Structure 1
Amino acid sequence: MKKVLIKNARIVNEGTIKEGDIFIEDGVITEIADSISAKSPDLKIFDAEGNYVLPGLIDDQVHFREPGLTHKETIETGSKAAVAGGITSFIEMPNTQPQTTTIELLEEKFKLAEESSYANYSFMFGGTNDNLEEIKKIDPKTTAALKLFLGSSTGNMLVDDEKVLERIFTESPLLIAAHCEDEETIQKNLAECIERYGDDIPIELHPKIRSEEACYISSSKAVALAKKTGARLHVFHVSTAKELKLFDNKRPLKDKKITAEVCIHHLWFNDQDYAKKGTFIKWNPAVKTKKDQEALLKGLLEDKIDVIATDHAPHTKEEKKNVYTKAPSGGPLVQHALPALLQMYHQEKITLEKIVEKMCHNPAILFQIEKRGFIREGYKADLVIVDLNAPWAVQPNNTIYKCGWSPFEGTTFKSRVTHTFVNGNLVYKNFQFNGFQQAERLTFDR
């Protein structure tokens, strides 16, 4: 029986910070107490030295690019970067090549993760205009959610047939997670810019092309359809102040039928950053105004927004350096999401307890993930130790993403992840990795 004892920790969990020790047996937390004394030949003791211990983060939106786009990232490289950032579980998106729109292809991705992932894993199934029958076969206990693109996407994953969309909302056995941007509005705005600028559209116009209007039209339609059909809807990467009126904080998360999330980049950047960062902060939905940025943080703190995610979506430097129409949207984020939030904690914008609520507890509640997301006896020992006073500068030589760059390059963070435990196993310590065999497939209590 493998035993681990974490001593002298400041445990951040369920709205409190308490000093104490954590005892782990065979990957499960078996005791949490003010002080634990234990002796055993196979016991490993880690002294947290008064640093903070958080539940392992759960990122519900990553693109690890495997299969088909592995020059950008793989499940192995993406999950390594994730655990370096304190993310111990991830849910990956279906727009790979081939797209994950059949049960057979979904299980092939699970097999890839079983062989290579450093973090616990699940995948979303992709909805299209013509795979409703396949959607209905999905077992909700083994698959995270159904992903719908209600704005432009790769291949045939844009669901734009309104009759099909209503049937999916009515008949899906899974929570529906939606990317909401109105394609007609985007194409109209893009055509006007191309007519004026050609392909070399100034990047500052990206939030004008993928505008507030485009976001609100789509997200409001999705919310209205969810209310009509009774579907369980989660709106990904909300990026505008206007969209916040679609969501409420009148009931606990477990009782909500319609939920929302915000991504790290929409909390950190605003449109003033395009001048310096250019296409390296080109995302869909676009990074918008400072007013939007401030409203998103306020909505998060007021619980209108339920979850923080990354939408980690790496591309190579060469791809990102293209002119506007050829530069893909997305960027790598999993390694630096928690350090960025901890920086916001130092700036007194958010508390440690709220970070843990939005990146650990709430994803577990929202997706009904079994035995993860909290530091509780009987739960899996997915744990992260952070040192709030260990400055480090983001540089290419300490950036783990396969694509080799970060939108945070040049930033000095005050805090760092020092240790990451996955199922009770130390998989990461100060930029060094152990083996990946400890990861498990997520299961769901539905």
Structure 2
Amino acid sequence: MIIKNAKIINSQKPVSIIIENEKIKKIDLENDFEKYKDNEIIDANYNYVIAGIIDPHTHMRDPGLTHKEDFNSGSKAAARGGITTFLDMPNTIPNTITKENLIQKKSMMAGKSYVDYGFHFGGSKTDNSEDIKLIKNEAASTKIFLNASTGNMLIEDDKILEKLFEASKIVSVHAEDKMVDKATKIAKRTGTTLYLCHLSLASEIDLLKRAKDSGMKIYGEATPHHLFLNTENINEKNKMLLRMKPELKEKIDNEALWKAIKDGTIDTIGTDHAPHLLKEKLEKLTFGIPSIEHSLELMLKKVKDSTIDLKLLTKIMSENSAKIFGIKNKGILKEGYDGDLAIIDLNNESEIREEDIITKAAWSPYIKFKRGGRVIMTILRGNIVYKYDLNNEDIFYSGFGKEVFYY
């Protein structure tokens, strides 16, 4: 495959991107396509081409809760959003807390995804540290819950927590407010790399910054909803919909998160895509929202208003996640890396419409939000998995997604 007339971040002039055997073979100014006439040639039409987005934090609800989402529907929504790799959390049914359950989950998901994927393993309140030792190179991290969330995975025994941290190469933690400090202290004692999921408070950012300044190997994640929404967005009509863990915070916390992105304190954007059907959300208090298909297009709004630039966007949405979790050959638009690309039309600032939603949840908290740009093609290892065609229709191509490898 050859992508011609591509604008990229590191070049003043349009380039051609040649993908061969699923890898980026060459990026240069070459425009002689005669020798490639038997290959598929994609015209980017002078739109930006960036490395495919990596979403390190998703809940695809598969297995056990597939009426809300499954690997097929969720990965399709990911492809629509320019995401070429996602990492799935362990609070499914059954919880992914034994090696046997992880193997079973991997087997069940094979062949179902439109894009590449990986799995987080789960820490258990009954102490599964021996299982964690066995699967270190088969999962992205150990996910530990220090606050209650969907699924019965809250761990409160400090001795068990210490053992789980010690057994893990990297711990991804659901920790809110004071629990961020607790997680940081345990990680410091055990020497474990720590990944703080969905930070939402200015005070949590301060804790992260101090930990980084002390030399700890620690990383922080922000979600689109904690960046773009706050308590001022809640009204009588949507008060049941805009509930998640952690909850929405104040505008001052939005501002702290954006400052932390710009100064490098926040490392990644994870969607925490946690879909529930609209009926479920309206019937009773249910935590979690869908967001995977619009994260990039929302973040592009902040490129448009010069809060961040495309270079920083691709760093926090692609490159850093690959480096933190050791995902091989992903996250950078570079020769030798996987041919994972998103082509984006920065001139398309259309509204997000409910009738276009791909996820099974069939709703979004961002309806009527204007995009900062539109994903017009998603390419996975040199294969088109999504394109937005000239008739304004979404077209998908399945059968290409594979599990990622870690180094």
Match of 1:313 in 2: 274
Distance in 2 of aligned mates of 1:134 and 1:143 = 12
Matched, 1:46 2:6: no
- Kept in 2, the 8 Å contact 1:23–1:36? The answer is no
Residue deviations 1:277-309, cap 9 Å, x none?
322221100110000010011011111111111
Match of 1:278 in 2: 239
- Kept in 2, the 8 Å contact 1:59–1:310? The answer is yes
Where do 1:69-218 residues align within 5 Å? 69-130=65-126, 131-140=128-137, 142-172=138-168, 174-180=169-175, 215-218=176-179
- Kept in 1, the 8 Å contact 2:111–2:401? The answer is no
Tell me the CA shift for residue 112 of structure 1.
Answer: 2.7
Tell me the CA shift for residue 64 of structure 1.
Answer: 0.5
Where do 1:396-411 residues align within 5 Å? 396-411=354-369
1:63 to 51, 59, 62: 59
Tell me the CA shift for residue 154 of structure 1.
Answer: 4.0
Deviating beyond 4 angstroms after TM superposition, the runs of 4 or more aligned structure 1 residues are: 249-252
Query: What secondary structure, in the 3-state scheme, does the structure 1 residue paired with 2:232 have?
Result: helix
Residue deviations 1:330-367, cap 9 Å, x none?
11101110110111222222211111010011001111
Q: What letter corresponds to residue 418 of structure 1 in structure 2?
A: I
Match of 2:32 in 1: 37
Matched, 1:259 2:256: no
Tell me the CA shift for residue 225 of structure 1.
Answer: 1.0
Tell me the CA shift for residue 413 of structure 1.
Answer: 1.9
Tell me the CA shift for residue 71 of structure 1.
Answer: 0.8
Matched, 1:439 2:401: yes
Distance in 2 of aligned mates of 1:437 and 1:243 = 41
Distance in 1 of aligned mates of 2:216 and 2:379 = 31
1:373 to 331, 337, 352: 331
Tell me the CA shift for residue 440 of structure 1.
Answer: 1.8
Tell me the CA shift for residue 155 of structure 1.
Answer: 4.3
Match of 2:264 in 1: 303
Distance in 1 of aligned mates of 2:141 and 2:13 = 34
Q: 1:418 to 1:154 in 2, by over 3 A?
A: closer
Q: Normalising by the residue count of structure 2, what TM-score does the alignment of the two structures yield?
A: 0.94
Q: What letter corresponds to residue 273 of structure 1 in structure 2?
A: N
Q: What letter corresponds to residue 139 of structure 1 in structure 2?
A: K
Distance in 2 of aligned mates of 1:300 and 1:18 = 28
Tell me the CA shift for residue 116 of structure 1.
Answer: 0.7
- Kept in 2, the 8 Å contact 1:117–1:436? The answer is yes
Where do 1:387-398 residues align within 5 Å? 387-398=345-356
- Kept in 2, the 8 Å contact 1:248–1:303? The answer is no
Tell me the CA shift for residue 245 of structure 1.
Answer: 1.6
2:252 to 291, 301, 321: 291
Where do 1:330-409 residues align within 5 Å? 330-409=288-367
Q: 1:247 to 1:9 in 2, by over 3 A?
A: same
- Kept in 1, the 8 Å contact 2:211–2:218? The answer is no
Match of 1:241 in 2: 202
Query: What secondary structure, in the 3-state scheme, does the structure 2 residue paired with 1:166 have?
Result: helix
Query: What secondary structure, in the 3-state scheme, does the structure 2 residue paired with 1:64 have?
Result: coil
Distance in 1 of aligned mates of 2:80 and 2:210 = 32
Tell me the CA shift for residue 34 of structure 1.
Answer: 1.6
Residue deviations 1:259-283, cap 9 Å, x none?
1111110000011001263222211
Q: Which moved more, 1:79-88 or 1:426-435?
A: 426-435
Distance in 2 of aligned mates of 1:342 and 1:292 = 20
Residue deviations 1:201-257, cap 9 Å, x none?
xxxxxxxxxxxxxx22100010011111101110000000001122239989xx861
- Kept in 2, the 8 Å contact 1:420–1:427? The answer is yes
Q: 1:166 to 1:433 in 2, by over 3 A?
A: same
User: 5+ residue gaps in structure 1?
Assistant: 181-214
Matched, 1:416 2:377: no
Q: 1:256 to 1:368 in 2, by over 3 A?
A: farther
Distance in 2 of aligned mates of 1:135 and 1:57 = 28
RMSD: 1.8
User: 5+ residue gaps in structure 2?
Assistant: none
Match of 1:198 in 2: none
Query: What secondary structure, in the 3-state scheme, does the structure 2 residue paired with 1:277 have?
Result: coil
Distance in 2 of aligned mates of 1:345 and 1:154 = 33
Distance in 2 of aligned mates of 1:361 and 1:269 = 25
Q: Normalising by the residue count of structure 1, what TM-score does the alignment of the two structures yield?
A: 0.86
- Which structure dedicates a bigger proportion of its chain to helix? 1
Q: What letter corresponds to residue 94 of structure 2 in structure 1?
A: P
Query: What secondary structure, in the 3-state scheme, does the structure 1 residue paired with 2:198 have?
Result: coil
- Kept in 2, the 8 Å contact 1:76–1:117? The answer is yes
Q: What letter corresponds to residue 8 of structure 1 in structure 2?
A: N
Q: Which moved more, 1:4-13 or 1:422-431?
A: 4-13
